[in-house]
């Protein structure tokens, strides 16, 4: 894979450049991520904040996670597309929603978390780490 990779929301109002490879790609099966993705799980690419550049206005929303941490979200105020999540206590880390990338070939989860809430019909591929709750 050659970096940078471009990404954007559905309407193009928010654009970004991922400058380096993510540190991890995680599939989360918790009920909140199922609601977010309107699917069986949500994909997150863990990236260093210094490795991504954003352009365009984003709105923000947050909730308290089961861990007690704040789970913030940045999204396009026009189309509503989630761009990334973050913990305000860890400003150097971003939890990018990589389905927004122009080239999604990097989306190969190496771990599945919250499989205790996984949809029964989904089978986790062989060879990836699995955690009943958060890793």
DSSP 63: E
d(CA 23, CA 31): 24
d(CA 38, CA 59): 20
Cβ neighbors of 23 (< 8 A, separation 6 or more) are: 46, 47, 48
- Assigned CATH for 5-130: 2.170.150.70
pTM, entire model: 0.86
How does residue 135 score in pLDDT terms, banded at 50, 70 and 90?
low
15-70 tens-digit pLDDT: 999 999 999 999 999 888 888 888 989 999 999 999 999 999 999 998 887 777 78
């Amino acid at each position: 894979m050659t970096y940078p990779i471009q990404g954007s929301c559905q309407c193009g109002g928010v654009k970004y450049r991922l400058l380096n490879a993510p540190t991890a790609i995680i599939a989360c099966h918790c009920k909140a991520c199922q609601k977010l993705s309107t699917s069986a799980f949500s994909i997150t690419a863990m990236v260093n904040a210094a490795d991504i550049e954003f352009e365009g206005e984003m709105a923000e929303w947050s909730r308290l996670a089961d861990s007690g941490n704040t789970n913030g979200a940045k999204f396009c105020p026009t189309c509503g597309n989630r761009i990334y999540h973050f913990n305000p206590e860890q400003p150097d880390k971003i939890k990018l929603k990589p389905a927004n990338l122009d080239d999604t070939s990097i989306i190969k989860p190496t771990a599945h978390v919250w499989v205790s809430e996984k949809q029964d019909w989904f089978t986790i591929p062989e060879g990836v780490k699995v955690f009943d709750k958060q890793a």
